[in-house]
Structure formats: structure tokens, C-alpha cells
Amino acid sequence: MSTFRLWAPDAKTVSLVVADSAGDATHEMSAGRGGWWWVNVPSAKHGTDYAYVLDGRGDELPDPRSAWQPSGVHGRSRLVDHATFTWTDANWRGIALAGSVLYELHVGTFTPEGTFDAAIGKLDHLAELGIDAVELLPVNAFPGSHGWGYDGVGLCAVHEPYGGPDGLKRFVDAAHARGIGVVMDVVYNHLGPDGNYLAQFGPYFTDRYITPWGPAVNLDAPGSDEVRSFIVDSALSWLRDYHCDGLRLDAVHAFQDSRALHLLEEISEAVHRLGAQLRRPLFAVAESDLNDPRLVSAPEAGGYGLDGQWCDDAHHALWAALSGERQGYYVDFGSIATLAQALTKGFVHDGGYSTFRGRSHGRPMPPTTPAYRFVTFLQNHDQIGNRAVGDRSSVLLSDGLLRIGAALLLTSALTPMLFMGEEWGAHTPWQYFTDHTAPGLGDAVREGRRAEFAAHGWGPEDVPDPQDPATFERSRLDWSEPTRPGHAGLLDWHRRLIALRRRLPALTDPAWSSVGCTFDEDARWLVVRRGDVAIVANLAGERQAVPLDGVPFDAPAASAPGFTYMPGRVELDGESVVITRLLPPEPSAS
């Protein structure tokens, strides 16, 4: 027997349509407290298709809490009994954010097939690379067959073209078998327009606030108790039912929540309670551009208690220093001094003036906050895909600068994350692609994309059409690249750096006090001290000697041969980096 429950507070009648061997059967649901409706259906079980009809209108609607949409976001829902899947990860004890190296992965373009099962075939590659956890771009149900996933509408359902609920479970189970955790990217700040039926069920949205996507998700208006419960239940389902290890919360600065208990704190508390119940660490990391320490501060200190947040400042500082780009938000970055600040403090905008914003921005992160709470990157889906043609750093930077970027990222005190293919310098672009089926929506997205980049001098013919299947196809990884000259060497460099991060305790020390930087802006060199380890980077084009406070005795990694080290300095080629260990200082005479 299955009990169906639906929150539809404004409905006068609710009918449940259930498919069975004799055809469709309609069951009238009973009204309960708080706008909830329910009915027991003895014949319904795992695999049964169903839909709802409100007030006799005749249009079937999918279940807002559906875990399975086999016919897409407009079709009927299908019951899932999570107990029917046989897991083999009973001995998996989870993975902590601290000390981990993350890897952002888009299921649809990670392999030629674009499925969970095909991605399983590449997990050994990630294990050999040294990845601790993969971060999946959103896999909840979205319209069409392919897309980034950020216009999803089924917050609890798994995208069917990827493999549906069991496909995701097979992937997580296989990842755990290789010692790799799985982080799920979830989007609760908005829903896509195509297939979004939530407003027909209840006050899921409010016109109190207007967002770039229309009316805001209702987090503080009447009826918001159930909306918030819906979001928290969705978040927990990825961790409980699919055995994921963490969540990445998309663009939380877009949450409009005036309540005393902020939704972020509510999610954080629920995630940690579930972790205690399951006896394995679970974590939640937020994407935010507010530079607000409250996200990762403890609730008793007035914070939201999240485990981490994305640190765009560190990315911007690293990318601008390597690439020389200064347009848009990069106008506030580019100097080596700014890069040093990002590596030693996390936030660059910590209350000072932001030229890009035309105002002051952010506030300082308390120095007692562990540095691992900042997740940063040289590339990610936004920083590549939101460029006009989706060009990667591997086609914009020299091999030497790529290796410097990898070294500064993977030896930093922050939690590093790679974007799929970055480890071998993939040359395939990662472009913005969609598969909208709603009339006029594809045209609107196409024209909006072209208008956005026209302001930066791009002609409409230069901006890939998101709706063109070729845009999606171009974005698939080419798995023949890792064995080719150049690519293979860069892949080996990333493997060595990650192995070094695991081997040398100084490289995972989360204390900001363990990080120090010296640099010369004009000569374009930077030395990052991590305890007894020094990362010596020469960003200039010519060979030079870089002064070093200490006596190097070992160089466990170097991006290019021909370097020399001696007391007080390291000499190395242009656009190269040397990681060296230093002798402890002489004890002072008594």
C-alpha cells in the first residue's frame, strides 16, 4: 500500500490519477490539516505512474515531490521505493570537506554518452588523479534532454536522460567503492520557467520581491512554512536516499528571507542532524557573492553554520594575475598583491571599495575561521560557460602559466576544486547550451545571450546558439586528449600536486596563520609559505632569481627543469614554479 500526500492549500478538491494494469483509476483525496490532502492506494507500488488533478480542471499535474519523471517534467510522476535498490557502500564512512580536493562534473558532457553509467567508467581516472569528491552540476529534472541543469523544476526528481534515480544511485555507490565522495549541486533560489507547476499547488512564490527569474521563492510570506519544509526535505533526500556526502547551494545571495531563522541556517542544522543520525560527516557549501562571514560562522556567533562557501575573490585574483584580463569584475583584481591577499585571507573585498560595484563590499573573515571553508578554483562551469564562446584557460594561457595556476590552487590553504578536463588542459570548450521546448523560450534565451555579449563587442554570429545541438556536442570532453603530448604532461603535473598535498602536512593546514606571501609586483614573482614548504612562482617571461626567506633542501615538485636553489634564493625559468621544502631555522643561542 502507498499513501499519497499533497500540499494544495487553496484547492477545493484534489484527485489522484493512478495507472494500473486495468487502466487509469481516479481516487478522490481527503482534506487534512494545514492544506494537506491524502489517500491510500493499496495497489500502488514502486514503478506506479500517477498524477494530480486540482478542482476538477482536467489537466494532470506531476507531483511537486516526485522522485522520478520518466516522461520528462511535463509527464506523469512515478513512485520510487528507495528500499528496492541494493547498495554496497555499507562500510563508507563519508568524507570531510577539510583536506579534500573537489572535482566539478557535468554528467551530460563528461562522457560521449552523457549518463551516470558512462561516468562510472571514468571514476578510476578520478581516483588515480587523487580526487576526494566529485561535485555534480544539478541533476534534478529539467526540461529537454540536455542543459546545464540550473533551470530545473523537479527539486526531488533525477533527470531521466542521465539515468533516473537508480542511475544516480549506481554512480554514488561506484564512487564510494573507489573512495570518492559525491556532492550534489542544488538550486533553491529559483525554478526554471518550463515545466514549473508549483504555483498551481500553493504559494510557493511571492511577489514581495522580484528576482532576475521573476517572483521570488516564498521564504517569508504566508504559507512559507511548508515551502521551506519542501526545500529542506529536497536537500535531505539527496543525502539520505542517494547517499550523497554534501550539498553545494546555488547563489544563496538571491534568497529573500527576512525571518529570524534564515533558510540557510535551517538547511545547515538539518544536514548536520542527518549526519549525526547516519554517523558520517555531511556538509553544505554555499555559493555567494556577498563576502559575508555569517555564512560559515557558527549559529551561536550569529552565523548560519554552513561548512563552506565558494570564494570567487580567490578565483578572480588568480585568473586576473595569470591572464591579464581586467574587464567586468576583474577590474578590481590582477595585481600580485591582490593574489597574495586572496591566498592569505580569502576575501579581497572585505569591507573596502569595489570599483566594479561602485561601493564598499564585504567584511573581514575572522582569522580563526579555518581556510578550508573557502572553496576556490581556476575554472568552474560559470567562469568558462559564461564567457561568450566558453573558452577554457587551456586555450588562453601558456602551459607554464597553467602549471603555475595549478600549483597555487592545489597548494593553497583553501579547498581546491578542478573543473572536468582541467587536469589535462582540455581544449574542448564548455558553452552555454539549452534544450527548451516551451514555445518562444528558446528564442528568448538565444536573443538574450546575444544581447548580453553585444555590449562587450561580440557580434551575434560569434555567440554560440544555446539551442543548437552542436553547441552541446562541442562541449563534450574528448577523452582521447589525456594521452596526447602536452595534455599527458599537464595531467601528470596535477597528479603530482595532489599527491604532494596529501603527503606534506603543511599543505592541508587550515590555519590562516600558516600562510605567508612575499612578492615583487614589477618583477612578477610570488612566494607562498605554507609552514616548511615554499611555493616559488615566476610569472615573468624571463628566468630570474627569487629571494627566499629560508634554506631550501629539497624540491619535491617543479613545473620545469633547470631550476637551482641555494640558501636565500631559488633561480627558475620564466613562467615556472618550484615547490621546495625548507630547513627549520637554527635555534637561537641562549
Binding-site members for substrate are 248-253, 312-316, 381-386
Backbone angles phi, psi at 133, to 5 degrees: -155, 140
Q: How far apart are CA 138 and CA 251, in angstroms?
A: 13
> In which element (H, E) is residue 64 found?
none
CA gap 289, 253 in Å, rounded:
7
Separation between Cα atoms, residue 576 and residue 200, nearest integer Å: 59
Residue 422 catalytic? no
DSSP conformation class of 185: E
Q: Is 452 a catalytic residue?
A: no
Pairing of strands 140-141, 154-158: antiparallel
Please give the Cα distance from 237 to 231 (Å, whole number): 10
> All 3 cell numbers of residue 294?
555569517
**Residue among 132, 226, 241, 250 flagged as catalytic:** 250
Cα 529 to Cα 104: distance, rounded to the nearest angstrom: 27
Residue 504, CA distances (Å) to 95, 498, 548 in order: 19, 10, 19
Cα radius of gyration rounded to whole Å, the chain: 25
Q: At 92, list the grid cell.
A: 563508507
To 10 degrees, the CA torsion angle through 150, 155, 156, 160? -40
Q: Which of 160, 265, 266, 287 does the annotation list as catalytic?
A: 287
Residue linked to cell 602551459 = 399
- The grid coordinates listed for 504 are 606534506
**Three-class HEC string of 462-529:** HCCCCCCHHHHHHCCCCCCHHHCCCHHHHHHHHHHHHHHHHHCHHHHCCCHHHEEEEEECCCCEEEEE
- Helix (H) / strand (E) element for 336: namely helix 336-345
Distances in whole angstroms, Cα of residue 470 to Cα of each of 146, 382, 431, 435: 12, 20, 10, 11
Q: Are strands 569-572 and 564-566 parallel, antiparallel or unpaired?
A: antiparallel
How far apart are alpha carbons 38 and 272 in whole angstroms?
A: 30
Binding residues, by number, are 248-253, 312-316, 381-386
Give one DSSP letter per residue of 349-409, joined into a string: -SSSEETTTTEE---PPPTTS-GGGEEEES--HHHHHTSTT---GGGTS-HHHHHHHHHHH
Instruction: Scan for cell 633542501, then name that residue.
Output: 553
Instruction: Label residue 371 left, alpha or beta by phi (over 0 means left) and psi (-120 to 50 means alpha).
Output: alpha
Give 558-574 as a 3 state SS string.
ECCCCCEEECCEEEECC
Pick from 585, 583, 581: which is nearest to 554 by CA? 581
Q: Which residues are catalytic?
A: 250, 287
